[in-house]
Amino acid sequence: MTSAINLQNGCWSARWGNWVVGLRSRGDTWDAKVWRWPPDTALSNRVEIESREQFKTSDEAASWVCDVMISDGAKVFVLDAPPGFALKYALEFRLAPELID
């Protein structure tokens, strides 16, 4: 699993239910976007919820993205999760240059 803590420079995406996260490195900073995109629907059904630029690390960007998703209704339930477990630890990032404009 590729978590936000160990992302290399590039474009990355992760999906959680109806949400898609996009992270892109821009030199020394990271940009982040969150979309609502119901599964099994066309790309044209994707709606941007929020975006922000110039995070210092991919981990910082992922934390912000998760806050946005949670405020938009995303939830995570993990039986026997260790203390401090959060949504960002459940996101699995993949290379995805097509997601961020």
Within a domain: 30 = yes
CA-based nearest residue to 37, from 22, 23, 52, 24: 22
Within a domain: 101 = no
Q: How many domains does the chain have?
A: 1
Expressed as residue numbers, the domain containing 66 is: 4-95
**Is the Cβ–Cβ distance between 46 and 37 less than 8 Å?**
yes
pLDDT tens by residue, 11-23: 999 988 899 999 9
pLDDT tens by residue, 40-72: 888 888 899 999 999 999 999 999 999 999 899
pTM over 0.95: no
Within a domain: 54 = yes
Within a domain: 19 = yes
Sign of CA dihedral 25, 28, 33, 34: positive
Within a domain: 45 = yes
Within a domain: 100 = no
Backbone torsion region of residue 40, taken as left when φ is above 0, otherwise alpha when ψ lies between -120 and 50, otherwise beta = left
Distance from the Cα of residue 16 to its chain's centroid: 8
Within a domain: 42 = yes
Residues 6+ apart with CB under 8 A from 33: 21, 22, 48, 50, 51, 99, 100
The pLDDT, as a whole number, for residue 99 is 53
CATH number, domain with residue 49 = 3.90.70
Quick one: pLDDT band at residue 3, thresholds 50, 70, 90? Answer: low
**Is the Cβ–Cβ distance between 93 and 10 less than 8 Å?**
no
Within a domain: 31 = yes
